Structures are given as C-alpha cells and as structure tokens.
Chain A
Amino acid sequence: MAKSDDCVHILQGLLVFGNVVIGMCGIALTAECIYVVSNPHGPYPLLKATENSDIYAAAWIGIFVGLALFALSILGIIAVIRASRTLLMVYIILMLITFAFEMASCITAATHQDSLTPEHFLKQMLERYQKSEPGNNSDNEVTKTWDELMRQNHCCGVKGPSDWQEYTSAFRDTHSDADYPWPRTCCVLDAKGLPVNLDGCKLGVPGYYNSNGCYDAISGPVNAHAWGVAWFGFAILCWTFCVLLGTMFYWSGIEY
C-alpha cells in the first residue's frame, strides 16, 4: 500500500512540476509573440503588401495560446492535487484544444519561411516601388518601407543596384535610365538627405552608392521571428505532450 502511495505522490509531484513549467512557458510564449507583433522596426508593411503576413497570424494565435496555457496549468495543478476525475477530464480536453491551436501556429510559422524568396521581394519591389499613380495605399506603404529600409541599412534593391538595370520597373517608367540608373536612396546620403556625390553615385563608384542588396536585411529579422515562434512553440508542445500523457495515466489510476 505504502509503495503505491509513494508512486502516486511522485506522479502527482511530477505532474505539478510539469504544469508549473507549462505555465511559465505559456507566459514566455505570450511575451515573445507580443514582441514579434509589435516590433516597430520590422518589415511588416512589406510583408503585408505581399499578402504574406502569415507570421503575424501565427504570432497572434501564439499570444492567446500562451495565456490559455498559463490558465490551464493552474487548473491542472488544482486538479492533480485534488485528484478529481472530472476536473482532470476538463483539463485534458481543454489542453488538447490548445495543443491543436498551437500546432496550427507552429506549422504556419514554419511554412511561412519557405515563401520568402528573394524573387518574391524583387518582383514586388519592381512592380510597386514608386508607382506613379498609386492605385491603393499599400503601394505608398511599399515605397516608404523600401526607402526607409535602404536608408537605414545602406543597401539597394533586393540583390543589388543592378536589379534596377536588369529589369524594367514602375520606377523606370517615370525616371529615365540616364538620370536615375537606380533610385536616389541608393546613393550615400549626407545629413540633409542629398547624395554626397551624385555623379559618383550614377557611375557606380564605390563609396558613393550602396552596392549590396537588402535581402539579408529583410530576411534576417523575419526568419528570426519565424524560428522563434515555430521552434519555441514546438518545444512547448513536446513538453505538454509528456505532461498530458502523465495526466492521462494518473487519471486512470485514481480510485473512484
């Protein structure tokens, strides 16, 4: 009798510990997803314009899942200590629902990375940057985002300034090739926002123009966010799986 009592106590202890960890991870997941969603320097307008903002849907789901995990972990601790079959059943069912939502969020975040190829951004940039009659507001957003991106990261185009030479673009329709081989924001600008050496920039003299592409500056933060949401969520789900299995086992061992 004493031995099985000990086993039950150990199992209870493990389950309480597991639930505590789930609660803390839930809070951490919420915090991380809030950061991803609200990061002001992120390339969100670019992604929104490409209708590619799945990462933000995944992050929003992550916020609510994190809070749900925290609340359910408290319910779980109470249920385990009181050894109540009903409470445990409710806990398991609600946890499974949360598990399903978090699974959706992880898979979305992981899939999202595949669609962020340079060609994708290149096409969007060529078709919408500095479009002369902006049909909708998002074209203005695209232009503003690209300008800010190029100014802050000292880069030009997606793969380099030759993007503007290799392809025709909305920009090329309104700016002649001789005067603007690439946009002025690709030039090294002084404090007032004017090119330091306009002729040097047009010629492509190193030092007066930005010769590297912006793709790294875009994909870096987006990939970091996506990996954060996807893999952290995956880790939480693996741990939750173990705790749920233990809870089911504990449930079946409770004497009626």
Chain B
Amino acid sequence: LEGVTTGSTFVLDQPRCVFEDYGNAVIWLVVTLDKDAPSFNNSAEPGTPETAFQRFPDPVRAYMTLNATLGSYPCPKPAGDITVLRVGSETSCARDETRPTCNGPLPGPGPYRVKFLALEGSVPVAETAWSMPIMLRTAKPPSSISTTGSGHNAGMIAITTILSILFAILLAGLVAMLVFWGSDSCGSSTLSKPESVSVRRYNTHHVYDQPAARL
C-alpha cells in the first residue's frame, strides 16, 4: 500500500481475532507520542477533555479514538480482504471540540505509538502491547531539488563538432573560389589556354573519282 504512511496519517491492521473473549467490550485505539507511551494510564476515559484529540499533543498526551465493538472485527479474516484502519482520515472534526474522539490528522511527524484497549463500561479489560514507533513522512521543499544540467550527451557533441568542421571546409572552399574568380577575371585566361592547332587530313578528291570512270 503506497499510503501506509503519509505526512499526517498512517495505516494499521485491524485487530482481528485478538479480543475474542470480550464480546461486550468497546475497543478503542490509543494514540500517543513515543516518549509519552510509558506514562499512559489505562484508566483514562475516552470522550473526556483529558483524552480529546483536539488538544493533542499538548496538554493531552494520549488520545483515544476509533471506537468499535467486536462485531466490526469479525474473525476469521476473509482472505484477500484489505482490513486496515486509517488513523488520521477524519478532517471534518479536527477542530470540533464537541467531538473529542475524532480520528483527526496527526499534527506532526511523530514518532507515535498505538495500542488497542478494550473497555467494558469504563473498566479496562484487555489491551494489546504498544506498537513499534511509527514515523510519518516529512516533506522537503521543492527548492531542494537540484536542476543543474547533467552534462551534454555524446550525440550533441558529435553533431556540433562534425557540422562545424563541415561548415569550415565549405567556407574555405568558398574563399578559395572567390580568390580564384578574382584572379581569373584579371585577364590571364587568354594566355593560359593556347589555341590547339589541329591538322586535318586532306584527301584530294580526284583519287576517289577514278573507279567511277572505269566502266
């Protein structure tokens, strides 16, 4: 799951097949900062200002939320189902002090610890152990992305070099042509090409007329 931890939420597995013997109990999720986990007292009552989400983390050290009965976590877990709880998904009640058990977005990156607590009335009857510390994601500012050029690729260097050389050769050729044309038009053409004298063989016509008169 890509959204296992985000900047203000995290995902937990549901406590399936854990609280089997406590059909009458209400199962609560206790969320606290890592450093405050040892000081949590199981006799804390949910829904009171001492465990209200809106005052977490100061002065409230641990808040309780996501209450459910055992029916919400049937056992055994059907294979292939995604059975998770998303802590921090309720944004509408995050500032509503009349809803102290709100499952609101977490205020900082943590680390947090959670445990499930089963209460019958207000008597704690069962609990899970504290989880490992859960660290949320911290976002960096976009200005930390470096966009400096990564150097020129070989193709560009090849094109530039070869084309420059070709162009230079052509320019040199053009200059040579202009110089050649200039010196040519100064008038040495008549001297550089002497008339070729050709001698054509001349056959005197009377040699060939003889056979016709032999008759």
Measured between alpha carbons, how far is A230 from B163 in the docked complex, in Å? 12
Whole-angstrom distance between the alpha carbons of A114 and B170 in the complex?
A: 29
Decide yes or no: A114 and B151 within 8 Å by CB, A172-B139, A178-B8 being known contacts: yes
Q: How many angstroms between the C-alpha atoms of A168 and B6 in the bound complex?
A: 12
List residues of A (89-138) whose CB comes within 8 Å of B's CBs: 89, 92-93, 96, 99-100, 103, 106-107, 110-111, 113-115, 117, 119-120, 122-123, 126-127
Complex Cα spacing A204 to B11, Å: 11
Instruction: Name which of A7-15, A69-77, A158-166 contacts chain B.
Output: A158-166
Q: Shortest beta-carbon distance, A234 to chain B, in Å?
A: 5
**Other-chain residue from A85, A122, A209 in contact with B2 (beta carbon distance below 8 A):** A209
In the complex, are the beta carbons of B147 and A119 less than 8 A apart? yes
Whether B9 pairs with A244 at a CB distance below 8 angstroms is no
Residue numbers in A under 8 Å from B145 (CB-CB): 119, 122-123, 126, 167
Contacts of A252 in B (CB 8 A): 177, 180
Q: Does A60 contact B (CB under 8 A)?
A: no
Closest 10 A-B residue pairs measured CB to CB? A204-B2, A204-B3, A178-B105, A110-B156, A126-B142, A177-B7, A168-B139, A177-B8, A203-B3, A241-B166
Q: Report B161-196 residues with CB < 8 Å from chain A CB.
A: 162-164, 166-167, 169-171, 173-174, 176-177, 180-181, 184, 189, 193
A238 to chain B, nearest CB (A): 7
A64 beta carbon closer than 8 Å to chain B: no
Interface residues of B in 4-48 (CB under 8 A from A): 4, 6-9, 11
- Closest Cβ of chain A: how far from B121's Cβ, in Å? 32
B159 touches A203 (CB 8 A): no
Residue contact A92 to B174, C-beta cutoff 8 Å? yes
Task: Indicate whether A211 reaches chain B with its CB closer than 8 angstroms.
Answer: yes
B163 closest partner in A (C-beta): A103
A-B contact pairs, 16 of them (CB 8 A): A85-B181, A103-B167, A110-B160, A119-B145, A119-B146, A165-B7, A167-B139, A167-B145, A176-B91, A177-B6, A177-B7, A177-B9, A178-B89, A181-B3, A204-B1, A204-B3
| A178-B104, A202-B3, A203-B82 known, 8 other contacts, Cβ within 8 Å | A99-B170, A107-B156, A123-B145, A167-B145, A181-B7, A234-B159, A241-B170, A245-B173
Rounded to whole Å, the gap between the CB of B6 and the closest CB of chain A is 5
Name the distance in Å between B5's Cβ and chain A's nearest Cβ: 9
A residues in contact with B146, CB < 8 Å: 119
A252–B178 alpha-carbon span in the complex (Å): 10
Least CB distance from B54 to A in Å reads: 15
A230 and B159 form a contact (CB under 8 A): yes
Q: Is B149 an interface residue, CB under 8 A from the partner?
A: yes
**Count of residues in B whose CB is under 8 Å from the partner chain:** 53
Q: Which residues of B contact A161 (CB under 8 A)?
A: 2
Q: Nearest chain-A residue to B192 (Cβ)?
A: A256
State A56–B178 Cα separation when bound (angstroms). 37
Note all chain A residues with C-beta closer than 8 A to B169: 241, 245
Residues of A near B174 (CB, < 8 A) are 92-93, 96, 248
CB–CB A114/B150 < 8 A: yes
Contacts of B82 in A (CB 8 A): 203, 205
Assembly CA distance A238 to B146 (angstroms): 38
Tell me if B159 and A110 are in contact (CB < 8 A).
Answer: yes
Q: Does A216 contact B (CB under 8 A)?
A: no
Tell me which residues from 117 to 162 in chain B have a Cβ below 8 Å from any Cβ of chain A.
137, 139-142, 144-147, 149-153, 155-156, 159-160, 162
Q: Which residues of chain B are within 8 angstroms of A119 by Cβ–Cβ distance?
A: 145-147
Instruction: Tell me the minimal C-beta distance from A5 to chain B in angstroms.
Output: 14
